[in-house]
Amino acid sequence: MQENFNNYKSGFISIIGRPNVGKSTFLNRVIGQKIAIMSDKPQTTRNKIQGVLTREQSQMVFIDTPGIHKPKHKLGEFMIKVSKNTLREVDVIMFMVNAEQAIGKGDEFILELLEGTKTPVFLVINKIDQIHPDELIGIIESYKGKFNFSEIIPISALEGNNIDNLLATIENYLPEGPQYYPADQVTDHPERFIISELIREKVLHLTREEIPHSIAVVIDKIKRDEDNENMIRVQATIMVERDSQKGIVIGKRGALLKEVGTLARKDIEMLLGSKVYLELWVKVQKDWRNKMSQLRDFGYREDEY
């Protein structure tokens, strides 16, 4: 742990924005490894995910929040509550927007949430690699009149453009403080959570329509193989809401579930640094997104926020 705090800076940075603006892509880019799942489908981040970046003179703890949207069920209400709560007691708020999208009602709703905050708010315009540079001035002007931002910084989380400048600017705003986490720790989430998210990411990638938002992944067991110490056995259950969804996730002759397992196993092996034997099951829990008891069982706990 950091012992000499003189001139050492540390703090917490909330990343907030509409669904699918690139918050998880940014977090993975900055941390240098995958701790947040990425998908082209909105509302894929459900819990707050903390990523820790330790540098020579600072430690930044980034909090990736669920995209703010109008909730349609108790899970959605939980996601909004998580996002709002992360605005409290952070040192910097990153309001991330998509350069390809005009200001929408979702953006304006977030700006209303930010009204009156004394915390520095950065407007971070992501996906600048997808627009012509001449368009950037108009985008900046459209937001300037809406809020008094401390900083306005355009980036490309995917390509890495201007990320170093953003980090240096954030560092300037952080107070002097201790190193909260060991230098080699990149997230505060346990391995079980990351593994469940990696599996869920593969289902999101391989399915369409109602399936992505109707699934949860529960890790049943992680243990080292008794006969092979270089092998870790992971058993997990993919929860769906209807029998028809179970059939889709399993696929014809089990083909889709097998592909989910193959893709997820590779990411889990990279995370654990070991060979992995992954066993997956699919189970129906009807309307689980509207049942608080099941939300808690699946790891969505309000009392942690």
Binding residues for GTP: 17-24, 64-68, 126-129
Render the burial of 216-238: b for 16+ CB within 10 Å, e for the rest. Answer: bbbbeebeeeeeeeeebebebbb
| DSSP string across the chain | -----TT-EEEEEEEEESTTSSHHHHHHHHHTS--S---SSSS---S-EEEEEE-SSEEEEEEE-PPP----SHHHHHHHHHHHHTTTT-SEEEEEEETTS---HHHHHHHHHHTT--S-EEEEEE-GGGS-TTHHHHHHHHHHTT---SEEEE-BTTTTBTHHHHHHHHHHHSPB----S-TT--BSS-HHHHHHHHHHHHHHHH--TTSGGG-EEEEEEEEE-SS-TTEEEEEEEEEESSHHHHHHHH-GGGHHHHHHHHHHHHHHHHHHTSEEEEEEEEEE-TTGGG-HHHHHHTT--GGG-
* Alpha carbon distance 239, 291 (integer Å): 13
Report the candidate in 196, 204, 215 with the shortest Cα–Cα distance to residue 39. Answer: 204
Task: Summarize the annotated binding site as residue ranges.
Answer: 17-24, 64-68, 126-129
What letter represents residue 86's amino acid?
Answer: T
